[in-house]
Chains A and B, each alone.
With several copies, the nearest count.
Chain A
Amino acid sequence: MVATVKRKRIEILVDNPLVPKIVNYVKKVDISGWSVIKIASGGGRDGRWQQDEVSGAAAKSIVLLIANEEKAQRLTDALAPLLDSHSLLLTIANVEVVRGDRF
């Protein structure tokens, strides 16, 4: 049986133009990496939207991160002031990472 470690899986839903800003914070708290997934369409209080690259400013992505509890905490603390002004959606879940000591 292979060893697993407990880590946090963080998802940050964010407007595409703001992804680099989020990544800067990720680096600051020294998380080892990140992955970006595009959202194709969605809806919320502002009505529904679809990806359209013509005016990509309204399109969104998810920044996906695996990190240990302490770094996860530091990241959420750092991002907290932006949550409202940048209308981010930040969720944290528990995952087991296989041989994941480097995260």
Chain B
Amino acid sequence: MILDTLTSPVILFFILGFFAACIRSDLAIPEAFAKAMSIYLMAAIGLKGGVEVASTGFSVDLAAAAVSGVLLGFTLPILAFILLRSFAKLGAIDAGAVAAHYGSVSVVTFVTAIELLTATGLRPDGFMVGVMALMEIPAIITGLLLARAYSKRLKESEEADTEGGSNLMHEVLTNGSVILLLGAFIIGFIAGAEGFAPIEPLFSVGFKGVLCLFLLDMGLIAARRLLETRKITISLATLAIVLPIINGTIGTVVGTLIGLDPGSAAILGVLCASASYIAVPAAMRLALPQADPGIYLAMSLGITFPFNILFGISLFAAIAKFLG
């Protein structure tokens, strides 16, 4: 599957973007266009997931996947936190922030994985979209609790800044991408296959092509992030590859154990392996402004994202197939 992956246009566009940034080309995707594509992709996968659940109904699998996803979201950051502090010698604040990223999920990695898995016959269940939306938030809570528990500096400054807590919870729960994913999921569920039909053309015709152009932009962003950073040590770079492998393997194994089909188990692995670069960075700027964005963005966008796209997805698919 690795070879299929590396010659799929979706991935080739990612590589093109990465390459263009490395040779310092001025190629750029306007930010409004990138945002538009991400809104389109989220609406499309939300809708499709909802329509699928409307036709299959709620199932035990769905419940098991949702519960596992949320629990993994809460617990995976703990392991990450320990490794970040011991192996990479990060302070508690930075370690908490990075851990939150690795416990949460990347929508684009998810979408790319769906495409690649479907193309190789491992089509995941539609409800995994809902699971993904649920997994965006828990890790933020664990990450913050860890940072607060282990940082003296933070405890003091917290007492001054009282309004922070409620604001953050609100910000995280009403996060645009969560609302859009869940909202589109519910709309798809209410509309069903029949109601979806008239609007389907836009969301199916364009999907893979838009994903190509979006990954072109992600390649540019990932490489630029990596080139510009001055904060990445060798141990951080190592963790940015080891963490997705560990988390992804755990996710795939859990998915298999709770009885998901191989495609869905692989996707659960991909969700665990992926690191957030939208919802969590914004939440961290707000809740842990002292944490260094240079570290968490370079790790999640610059290393983990490319690793998952190029190798991780194939790896977890192989594990899921082997176990399933």
Interface residues of A (CB under 8 A from B): 15-18, 21, 24, 46-58, 81-82, 85-87
**Residues of chain B contacted by A85 (CB below 8 angstroms):** 157, 289-290
Question: Which A residues are CB-close (under 8 A) to B282?
Answer: 17, 56-57
Interface of B with A (CB < 8 Å)? 28, 30-32, 34-35, 38, 157, 160, 163, 167, 217-218, 221, 224, 228-231, 277-278, 281-286, 289-290, 292-294, 297, 301
CB distance from B293 to the nearest CB of A (A): 5
Are A18 and B160 touching (Cβ within 8 A)? Answer: no
Residues of B with C-beta under 8 A to A56: 278, 282
* CB of B171 to closest CB in A, whole Å: 8
Could you list some 24 contacts between A and B, CB below 8 A? Answer: A15-B285, A15-B293, A18-B285, A18-B289, A46-B230, A46-B292, A46-B293, A47-B294, A50-B28, A52-B34, A52-B221, A53-B30, A54-B34, A54-B38, A54-B218, A54-B221, A55-B281, A57-B278, A57-B281, A57-B282, A57-B293, A58-B297, A81-B160, A87-B289
Task: Find A55's partner among B231, B290, B292, B301 (CB 8 Å cutoff).
Answer: B301
Using Cβ atoms and an 8 Å threshold, which residues of chain A touch B32?
53
Identity of the chain A residue whose Cβ is nearest the Cβ of B285 in the assembled complex:
A17
How far is B160's CA from A54's CA once the two chains are assembled, in angstroms?
A: 32
Q: What residues of A have a CB within 8 angstroms of the CB of B277 in the complex?
A: 54-55
Q: In the assembled complex, which residues on chain B have CB atoms less than 8 Å from the CB atom of A49?
A: 228
Instruction: Give complex CA distance A43, B51 in Å.
Output: 41
Q: A86 contacts which chain B residues (CB < 8 A)?
A: 289
The answer to whether B230 touches A47, judged by C-beta atoms less than 8 angstroms apart, is yes
Residue of A nearest to B276 (CB): A55
Are B221 and A55 neighbours in the complex by a CB distance under 8 Å?
yes
Q: In the complex, A53 Cα to B30 Cα: how many Å?
A: 9
Is A51 a contact partner of B31 (Cβ separation < 8 A)?
yes
Assembly CA distance A47 to B30 (angstroms):
21
Chain B contacts of A21 at CB under 8 A? Answer: 167, 286
Min CB gap A45→B, angstroms: 8
Question: Which B residue sits closest to A17, measured CB to CB?
Answer: B285
CB proximity of A95 to chain B, nearest CB, Å: 24
| Interface residue from A18, A50, A58, A81 paired with B281 (Cβ < 8 Å) | A58
Q: Give the Cβ gap from B323 to chain A, nearest Cβ, in Å.
A: 33
Contacting residues, chain B, for A82 (C-beta < 8 A): 289
How far apart are the CA atoms of A101 and B289 in the complex, in Å?
21
Q: Which residues of A contact B278 (CB under 8 A)?
A: 54-57
Give chain B nearest CB distance to A13 CB in angstroms: 14
With a 10 A CB-CB cut-off, give which of B32, B285, B294 has the most chain A CB atoms.
B285
Is B297 within 8 A of A55, CB to CB?
A: yes
Given contacts A21-B286, A85-B290, contact A57 B297 (CB under 8 A): yes
Whether A47 contacts B228 by the Cβ 8 Å rule is yes
Q: A18-B285, A47-B228 are in contact. Are A52 and B290 (CB under 8 A)?
A: no
Cβ–Cβ < 8 Å partners of B294 in chain A = 46-47
Q: From residue B52, how far is it (CB to closest CB) to chain A in Å?
A: 27
Select from chain A the residue with minimum beta-carbon distance to B284.
Answer: A57
A57 to B284, CA, bound (A): 9
User: Closest A-chain residue to B300, C-beta based?
Assistant: A55
Are the C-beta atoms of A53 and B289 separated by less than 8 Å?
no
| A27 CA to B290 CA, complexed, in Å | 24
Would you give the shortest CB distance from A78 to chain B, in whole angstroms?
11
Interface pair A54/B285, CB less than 8 Å apart:
no
Known: A53-B32, A85-B157. 5 other contacts (CB 8 A): A15-B293, A52-B34, A81-B157, A85-B289, A85-B290
Contact, CB under 8 Å: B217 / A54 = yes
Chain A residue with the shortest CB-CB distance to B221: A52
Q: Which residue of B lies closest to A46 (CB)?
A: B294
Q: How far is the CB of B28 from chain A (nearest CB, A)?
A: 8
Name which residue of chain A comes closest to B34, CB basis: A54
Q: Which 5 A-B pairs rank lowest in CB-CB distance, beginning with the nearest?
A: A57-B281, A47-B228, A53-B35, A17-B285, A53-B31
